[in-house]
């Protein structure tokens, strides 16, 4: 997959792209990423990318010219989406990540200031995506979350792909509690079933814990789930992307 990020602050992404899961995926050639700054497509000596909104109002808006020029300078791979990260967009979720992971190219536009000229959304953007019902200083933060959520689903990114099938939201259930050594810490014991070696009993316990945790924390998810459906994968559950 090719990912292009149109951003006024390309340096924001430098550290996340150099380390952990994303850095390894780039090194393996699983995806490529490029950053394009709209300021490079301005024509005035101040490299101005924003202006006052027509009709008045607080703040400044990103102008359409440099954004269109920045996106139109990019190579085109098909299929692709041009995504604007915005509080007005559809919420990020696992289903969205799965859909976007099938693209050849993802172009992400990062907003700043009070937003962007509506003509960008009407005539350039193919999809608006939101990190949640809140406002952040700029679009780089949700863009990074979007990149991470999509890239980790690309084949070869996660070392044990079975773990992707058993984690939160893949089955409309939250993840089960997990433990590691030591078996006892400060008097707190790991549940005995996990030490039993009985994989069937472990699978049943984990599925029960998923239901209980989801019912307590996110009961809205249970409308799309069948309690009799077993947890995905086989009797072994491995997780961890880092």
- pLDDT of residue 232 exceeding 50: no
User: End-to-end alpha-carbon separation of the chain, Å?
Assistant: 20
DSSP assignment of 218-237, as one string? -GGGGGG--TTSPPSS-S--
- The pLDDT of residue 226: 60
Q: Are 142 and 204 in contact (CB under 8 A)?
A: no
Domains in the chain (CATH in brackets) are: 2-151 (3.40.1280.10), 162-224 (1.10.1270.20)
- The pLDDT of residue 57: 85
Residues in the chain: 242
Q: How confident is the model at residue 20 (pLDDT cuts 50, 70, 90)?
A: confident
Percent with pLDDT over 90 in the chain: 76
- Of the ranges 34-38, 191-195, 230-234, which one carries the lowest mean pLDDT score? 230-234
Paired tokens of 9: 């602050």
70: CB partners within 8 A, 6+ apart: 6, 36, 37, 38, 40, 41
- The pLDDT of residue 162: 55
- The pLDDT of residue 231: 44
pLDDT in tens, 164-215: 555 544 567 899 999 999 999 999 999 999 999 999 999 999 999 999 999 9
- The pLDDT of residue 235: 29
- The pLDDT of residue 114: 82
pLDDT in tens, 57-82: 888 999 999 999 999 999 999 999 99
pLDDT in tens, 101-133: 999 999 999 998 888 999 999 999 999 999 999
- pLDDT of residue 233 exceeding 90: no
pLDDT average, residue stretch 23-41: 97
- pLDDT of residue 227 exceeding 70: no
Q: Are 20 and 147 in contact (CB under 8 A)?
A: no
Residue 60 neighbours by CB distance under 10 Å:
16
């Amino acid at each position: 997959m090719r990912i292009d990020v149109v951003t006024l602050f390309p340096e924001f992404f430098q550290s996340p792209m150099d380390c952990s899961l994303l850095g390894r995926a780039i090194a393996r050639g699983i995806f490529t990423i490029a950053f394009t700054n709209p300021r490079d497509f301005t024509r005035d000596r101040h490299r101005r990318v924003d202006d006052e909104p027509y009709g008045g109002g607080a703040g400044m808006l990103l102008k359409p010219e440099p954004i269109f020029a920045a996106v139109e300078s990019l190579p085109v791979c098909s299929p692709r989406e041009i995504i604007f990260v915005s509080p007005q967009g559809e919420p990020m979720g696992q289903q969205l990540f799965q859909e976007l992971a099938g693209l050849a190219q993802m172009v992400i536009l990062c907003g700043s200031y009070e937003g962007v000229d509506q003509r960008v959304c009407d005539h350039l953007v193919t999809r608006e995506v939101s990190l949640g019902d809140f406002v952040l200083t700029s679009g780089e933060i949700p863009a990074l979350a979007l990149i991470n959520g999509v890239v980790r689903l690309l084949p070869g990114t996660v070392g044990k792909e079975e773990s992707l099938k058993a984690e939160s939201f893949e089955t409309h259930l939250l993840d089960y509690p997990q433990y590691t050594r030591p078996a006892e810490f400060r008097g707190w014991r790991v549940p005995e079933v996990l030490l039993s070696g009985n994989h069937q009993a472990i699978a049943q316990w984990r599925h029960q814990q998923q239901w209980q945790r989801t019912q307590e924390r996110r009961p809205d998810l249970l409308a799309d789930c069948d309690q009799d459906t077993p947890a995905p994968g086989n009797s072994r559950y491995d997780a961890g992307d880092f």
